[in-house]
Structure 1
Amino acid sequence: MIAKLIVGKSFGGCIRYLLEREQSKVLDSAGVRDYSIKAITSDLNAQRRMRPKLGNAVGHTVLSWSNEDRDKLTLEKMEQHAREYMEKMGIKNTQYITVLHTDKKHPHLHIVYNRVDNDGKTIGNFNHWHKSRKICREMTERYGYHLGKGKAKVNRQALKGNDKLRYAILDALNDIMAKATTWKQVETTLAKYGIGIQYKYRSGTNEVQGISFEKDGVKFKGSAIDRKYSFAGIEKQLSENRAIGITHSTTENRTLADEIREVLGQQEQRSDTYEAGMGLLGDLLNMPASIEPEPDPNWRKKKKKPEEEKSRGISR
């Protein structure tokens, strides 16, 4: 059992993502009229108005189990595990809705909750990645579920050479892709880690076909870092982040220590054995500015370069 933690601004976008598909089912809810997207969104937004300055009021957790656990799970057990997880995480006295998705091979569900609780207080998220990892592992062991052996378990300090560089790029991307909504944000933040991007174009066109990452003079294809970090995979994740209202920078006060703890929590929590899938949304409900404008689709087009540089690709 693992958890993917998300915060965002748009209840409308998030609820539409959860329920605008045939392969979804409401398992549990509290404090909302769960018979329609409009009613759920209206109820959540009504409560968030008690703290209008809290931009990221949307709490969204994806709980996932290995496909090996499918025979052990029932809808009742998944609902109970979601409630236990929320209780241990301190998600109490607030509105929430739990939705099952059956569009992936592995069992998973989504919990969306209001970070403005029933008394108008904020449900904090300090150190929540690290806390969630511990809770998931404890519950996994107690209920006898499968423990994944993903890249998060690799001992970074023991790595050398290209393996060390590859995992440094992986860890940076894991951190960045949890928050980024545009390619510019990805490029700018990767540069701070000393990592460059090179795009591969389809022959004779300006269409991007692939992507590579470079660190300390060593280049890796995106898919060699992780399958989800191909060009198409990153493009999909950025679109999903925009759709569910993730913001690149939070308006809440955070210390450097908070950010370091969050990065460490994300690194330990990621698993390539199984992960919750996300989908795309159309238009969002009319909400306060929740999504960054779409980037200009032409910005990645190949620029004219001197003759001797044409074969190198673009590196930013």
Structure 2
Amino acid sequence: MMGKPITGRSFGGCIRYVVERQEAKILHAEGLRMKNPSQLIQDFNLQRKMRPELGKAVGHLILSWSKEDLAKLSDAIMVERSKEYMEKVGIRNTQFVIVRHTDKAHPHLHLIYNRVDNNGRTISDQNNFAKNVKACKEITVKYGYHLGKGKELVNRQALRGKEKIRYELHDAIKAALKTATNWKELEAQLSKQSIAIAYKYRSGTSEVQGISFEKSNLKMKGSAIDRSLSYAKIDDALNRNMKVQLYQVTRQSGEPLLASGLREAVRNDGQHEHHHSGGGKNLLDILLSPEFIPAGSGPMGDAEEAHRRRKKRKGQQQTQGPRL
């Protein structure tokens, strides 16, 4: 099960788009007259007048299931799942209508609700996407619905507005994380796609506490785009990339690379310090860690290695006995 939350300004446009279609079937409504679309629009608009300053009073949600779940989803069950979803995300005590469409192979419905509730209060749309993901996952697991294999299967061409940008950010960041080895490289790759990074610092310190990404005047927290894109998880991914790169080149180039890498690290260390004050390792930390300092690379390395070889030869000679 997947959800797509949308907010809008016009009940008229939304109702006509959803209801006035040959394949549309109204399954359920509360607080509304269902005789025709005009009455639905009139009733929605009458209640929104209690909060005239609220521009985007239209709540529109699309709930979709896999075609493998079709046999499990009667009209009545889809209504029950819709109500359960609404309760989980905090859509309560308001007008709503549930409309099923049959124009696609997969079962799906449209739920239109009034963000001005029955008492004139506003139903918040903050963290809509995070709440949506959590609710859909819980319902999917609870009823054994087909579990999708992640964002890779989402049809990007069908996305619009905020959701479209969210997936653009997701895809761009994931692609950049395949090669970037530090925050400066990540920023440079994303800037080519007009994506900016904003760091959130712990109050009164230079310790990074969180991260947001901005594109087309829309700013989203990394964890709201995807759980794997929080500051800590991105920092871990960059450190892993750095270690892999160092391992590969040290095997090919040997000790000269270590000296070269250390010089480069010392030169760049100050440029990246503010990104790693939260505990993440920078290039200098990694290069100086035990796993990346080759045996015998210290100032006494050559002498110690020669001494070890002499002892080995001496032991072999004693075992073999004197030559005749």
TM range, normalised to the smaller chain?
Answer: 0.5 to 0.7
The one-letter amino acid of 1:75's match is D
Name the CA distance, whole Å, in 2 between partners of 1:48 and 1:32. 13
Residue equivalent to 1:195: 193
Residue equivalent to 1:178: 163
Residue equivalent to 1:62: 62
Residue equivalent to 2:92: 92
Residue equivalent to 1:6: 6
Name the CA distance, whole Å, in 2 between partners of 1:71 and 1:125. 33
Name the CA distance, whole Å, in 2 between partners of 1:40 and 1:260. 38
- Per residue, is there more helix in 1 or in 2? 2
C-alpha contact (below 8 Å) 1:33/1:39 kept by paired residues: yes
Name the CA distance, whole Å, in 2 between partners of 1:125 and 1:63. 17
> For residues 52-82 of structure 1, what are the alpha-carbon distances to aligned partners after superposition, in whole Å with 9 as ceiling and x for unaligned?
1111100001000000101111111111100
The one-letter amino acid of 1:178's match is E
Give unmatched runs, 5+ long, in structure 2: 166-189, 195-215, 231-324
> For residues 160-212 of structure 1, what are the alpha-carbon distances to aligned partners after superposition, in whole Å with 9 as ceiling and x for unaligned?
xxxxxxxxxx8xx96856378xxxxxxxxxxx85328xxxxxxxxxxxxxxxx
| Residue aligned with 1:195, SS | coil
Q: CA deviation at 1:131?
A: 1.2
The one-letter amino acid of 2:20's match is E
Q: CA deviation at 1:150?
A: 3.5
Larger radius of gyration: 2
Name the CA distance, whole Å, in 2 between partners of 1:103 and 1:6. 20
Does the C-alpha gap of structure 1 residues 249 and 101 become closer, same or farther in structure 2, counting only changes over 3 Å? farther
The one-letter amino acid of 1:20's match is E
C-alpha contact (below 8 Å) 1:3/1:136 kept by paired residues: yes
| Residue aligned with 1:28, SS | strand
Any runs of at least 4 consecutive aligned residues in structure 1 with deviations exceeding 6 A, and if so which? none
Residue equivalent to 1:31: 31
C-alpha contact (below 8 Å) 1:67/1:105 kept by paired residues: yes
The one-letter amino acid of 1:86's match is M
Name the CA distance, whole Å, in 1 between partners of 2:98 and 2:110. 6
Q: TM (normalized to structure 2)? A: 0.51
- The reply on whether 1:52 has 2:52 as its aligned counterpart is yes
Q: Please, what is the CA RMSD of the aligned residues?
A: 3.1
Name the CA distance, whole Å, in 2 between partners of 1:9 and 1:153. 30
Q: TM (normalized to structure 1)? A: 0.52
Does the C-alpha gap of structure 1 residues 44 and 106 become closer, same or farther in structure 2, counting only changes over 3 Å? same
Name the CA distance, whole Å, in 2 between partners of 1:193 and 1:45. 43
Q: CA deviation at 1:20?
A: 1.1
| Residue aligned with 1:7, SS | strand
> For residues 141-168 of structure 1, what are the alpha-carbon distances to aligned partners after superposition, in whole Å with 9 as ceiling and x for unaligned?
11010001133599xxxxxxxxxxxxxx
Residue equivalent to 2:144: 144
Q: CA deviation at 1:10?
A: 0.6
| Residue aligned with 1:105, SS | coil
Name the CA distance, whole Å, in 2 between partners of 1:260 and 1:54. 28
Name the CA distance, whole Å, in 1 between partners of 2:15 and 2:160. 25
Equivalenced residue count is 183
Q: CA deviation at 1:35?
A: 1.4
Name the CA distance, whole Å, in 2 between partners of 1:153 and 1:10. 31
Name the CA distance, whole Å, in 2 between partners of 1:261 and 1:52. 33
